[in-house]
Structure 1
Amino acid sequence: MIKRLGRHPWVLSGVGTLLAAYLKLVNRTNRFVLDPEGIYDETEPHLPVIVAMWHGQHFMVPFAKPAHWPAKVMISRSADGEVNAIAARKLGLGLIRASGGRNARQIRKRGGMRGFIEALRALKDGYTIAMTADIPKGPARKSGVGIVQLAKHSGRPILPVAVATSRSIELNSWDKASVNLPFGRGGIAVGELIRVPVEAGDDELEIFRQQVEDSLNTVTTRAYELVGRAEKSVT
């Protein structure tokens, strides 16, 4: 009964609304710095882009983008995803309800192909797409190939982004999620654009997948450095 209650639309809506309000509080009460400075001005001519982030480090990313960038975020269709989707909508983001998987069956079950097509259309229409690079319930901090495939078929570059705050609670979840706390300092670290050629084969896609993974790890480490702390190990 508790599980059913927890999945009730009213409960999910209430939790999502509270989450959005809490994240706004965290954003207002932390002093954020951007590294490198001026990176968004340099990125403007290359819009729209595919913003890459890690699971568990995604809560504050909606505040990292410039307000004038129209954006949609890819969120799973799970109950947890529903809460995140409600919060994202409250924060002014468009939604694509899908996620990847480790095999074809998981991809079909999670709406991965439909989400991929919807993301292609959104990029064509000028929306920046934000998505986690790692696969839900998969190895933490290991990029999947889906984000690289999206870059290849859309012709849009990948922009690695990480956000950290000086105060946070680290959860014992599969992705070692970091719950950011108010009244501190924040760091936003942005990596260089990663472009995937449309003619890239499987071997090249693996190289770009590794590049996304390495870049996300680098910007995540940098985001924590900006707030004067070391990132807790996820291994």
Structure 2
Amino acid sequence: MRWSKRLLRQPAMLAAAGSVAAAYLRFVRRTNPMTLEPHDIYDRIAPDLPVIIALWHGEHLISAFFRNPDRPGHQTKVLISRHADGEINAVAARKLGIGLIRGSGAHHGDFRRKGGVPAFKDMLEALAEGYNVVLTADVPKVSRRAGLGIVKLAQHSGRAIYPLSLTTSRRKELNNWDLTAINLPFGRMCGVIGEPIRVPRDADDAALEAARLKLEQELNAASARAKLLAAGKGS
């Protein structure tokens, strides 16, 4: 068992798995026409670019397809952890045209672990350079509870957070901590963006917590709405 785990964690194996994942996700996108709500979301976001895109864990696999490469200002980087699963995601993201920032977040805004401090600085730098930054709002392994890290990123960068949920009508949800959705071909892809959250630079602890709760509410609402649309019940 140990040798098999070591084999699966070899760089060549991780790279191959990431390449296969990217090819599969492209196939899913090609066979799932996408609907966005609101329909003019790219125009609404444009004045705020670059922005912070917030997702829930488990809904992240198809998030690359929200980016519109044909529009200016849509260059994007994504925060991906440094563990082995993260390496597969990183290879897939690169194949899909997304830049990388490596590290992990924390529930209480403590970025000292798992490469967090450099990652936080890298995200600030990316936003300053005009890149949109995508990251999950919840931190392993507490699903659907937003951490303060993303709120502090908005505070220090001055950029708005846009909550995003993308799903497909055909999907398999795994029985793990984040209910990872394995999106399937030949259905409908639906994306919903919630109201932007803006965090003043002088926000105190109470204001940061209010922004965190607002983000949580907006992500939950976007997720529920996206699933309703994907099921054909939202019109």
Q: Which runs of 5+ in 1 are unaligned?
A: 231-235
Residue in 1 that maps onto 2:65: 63
Pairwise CA distance, 1:102: 4.3
Instruction: Determine which of 123, 126, 133 is the counterpart of 1:129.
Output: 133
Residue in 1 that maps onto 2:161: 158
The answer as to whether partners of 1:99 and 1:136 remain within 8 angstroms in 2 is: no
Superposition pairs of residues 111-122 of structure 1, within 5 angstroms? 111-122=115-126
Q: Distance in 2 between matches of 1:221 and 1:66?
A: 23
Q: Verify: 1:92 aligned to 2:97, yes or no.
A: yes
Pairwise CA distance, 1:107: 3.5
Q: Distance in 2 between matches of 1:103 and 1:133?
A: 12
Count residues in correspondence: 228
Letter in 1 for 2:156: H
TM-score by length of 1: 0.94
TM-score by length of 2: 0.94
Q: Distance in 2 between matches of 1:24 and 1:3?
A: 28
Of all paired residues, the percent bearing the same amino acid is 49
Moved more, 93-102 or 217-226: 93-102
Superposition pairs of residues 4-43 of structure 1, within 5 angstroms? 4-43=6-45
CA deviations 1:142-190 (Å, max 9, x no partner) are: 0000000000000000011101111001111111101000001111101
CA RMSD of aligned residues (A): 1.4
Q: Verify: 1:179 aligned to 2:182, yes or no.
A: yes
Residue in 2 that maps onto 1:215: 218
Pairwise CA distance, 1:48: 0.2
Residue in 1 that maps onto 2:4: 2
Q: Runs (4+) of structure 1 moved beyond 6 Å?
A: none
The answer as to whether partners of 2:108 and 2:149 remain within 8 angstroms in 1 is: no
Instruction: Determine which of 108, 124, 130 is the counterpart of 2:112.
Output: 108
